[in-house]
Amino acid sequence: MQLRIPGPTPLPDEVLEAMNRQMINHRGAEFRAIMQDVTERLQHCFQTEGDVLVFPGSGTGGLEAAIANIFSPGDTVISMPVGAFGERFAEIAERFYLDVWRVPSPWGQAANLEQLESALCSMPWTKAVLIAHNETSTGVQSDIEAAVRIAHKYGALVVVDAISSMGAVDIPVDRWGVDVAITASQKAWQAAPGLTMLSVSEAAWRAHAKAKLPRFYWDFTEAKRYLQRWETPYTPAVSLLYGLQTSLHLIMEEGLPNVFARHERIRDQVRAGARQIGFKPFAPDQIASRTVTALYAPEGQSARDIVTAMRERGVIVAGGQGKYEHTALRIGHMGFVSAEDVDVVLEELEAVVGVN
């Protein structure tokens, strides 16, 4: 079976095997060694010398953690939704009583940085910009480096949803100056779902010190305090950390630049192949995601029927989201994925639309 949704992704055998280990004491030396190894390898992959914190929870939990740790009720943030998940991020901020100013882009387009600049210019009290690096619903990648440059000019932090791109795409957190970057284990990390990982910049720590939103579970200060001795404030998801540790070893053995290049090659392979058999990508080439491709079904064909037919042939792809439920489908190509895997997906896709 080929599981090619935008996460969870298939797990390498080594990761599955790593999870097949007995429980250990989460206050003992064996656990502390794992926690240190995982943390240091995450810092390497995030390209940061700052803190990376790991919480038991999904990526959505990571987004909530960022909001609860950095802000106080009534703080103004600018959100840059370009699809369903950017909208979710804005909604979390609203639920936490932030004053959310949306600078949206139509589905299929990237974050509009000119409008970001004019919004910041007219609202200089803005605390932060919330932006997705890789919008999973449309397969669009936004320009985080430029967004940070603009936001920092106006004294705003940048909180980046990198859930479905970090680990697969070059996001040099320190060099770009990203304040908080959030990711999750079941995406490019080719690990099982249930862990979210966040980087925290010095400026984000300063904002955190003043942030009044309620938090206990997600509290960055507590997480960092326990991490001084490579522990966690409460029971960690031990099995998932076994798996993530092994994943991080696999990723670093392959080498980050090679992992990034593989994802770029595969993205191009998916788009070229899909176009050849009558599909049209949502995203223009220059902003195309390296980890997920959203495609319009060929004229006159139902995307839902295609997804169903693919499933019967053993290839699981995702449907379109929101209003694109009937017209689009999405292929995940992150983490544990090879050119041969993509060949299979494209062959089956061709067979299905040929006979559909």
Give the interface segment with a second copy, choosing from 50-58, 76-84, 151-159, 197-205 (CB under 8 A): 50-58
Chain positions 158 to 197 lying near a second copy, rule: CB under 8 A, are 184, 186, 192-194
Q: Kindly state whether residue 280 participates in binding a second copy, applying the rule CB under 8 A.
A: no
State which residue, 23 or 355, has the beta carbon closest to a second copy.
Answer: 23
Of the candidates 341, 187, 355, 188, the one whose C-alpha atom is nearest the C-alpha of residue 273 is 341
Residues 223-244 as b/e (b if ≥16 CB within 10 A, e otherwise) read beebbeebbbbeebbbbbbbbb
State which residue, 154 or 217, has the beta carbon closest to a second copy.
Answer: 217
Q: Kindly state whether residue 106 participates in binding a second copy, applying the rule CB under 8 A.
A: no
State which residue, 10 or 108, has the beta carbon closest to a second copy.
Answer: 10
Amino acid at 248: L
Q: How far is the CB of 323 from a second copy (least distance, A)?
A: 18
Q: Kindly state whether residue 3 participates in binding a second copy, applying the rule CB under 8 A.
A: yes
Q: Kindly state whether residue 24 participates in binding a second copy, applying the rule CB under 8 A.
A: yes
Chain positions 195 to 234 lying near a second copy, rule: CB under 8 A, are 213-217, 219, 233-234
Question: Pairing between strand 180-184 and 157-161?
Answer: parallel
Chain positions 57 to 76 lying near a second copy, rule: CB under 8 A, are 57-61, 64, 68, 73
In the complex, the residues that contact a second copy under the rule CB under 8 A are 1, 3, 5, 7-11, 16-17, 19-28, 56-61, 64, 68, 73, 91-92, 95-97, 184, 186, 192-194, 213-217, 219, 233-240, 243, 311, 316, 318
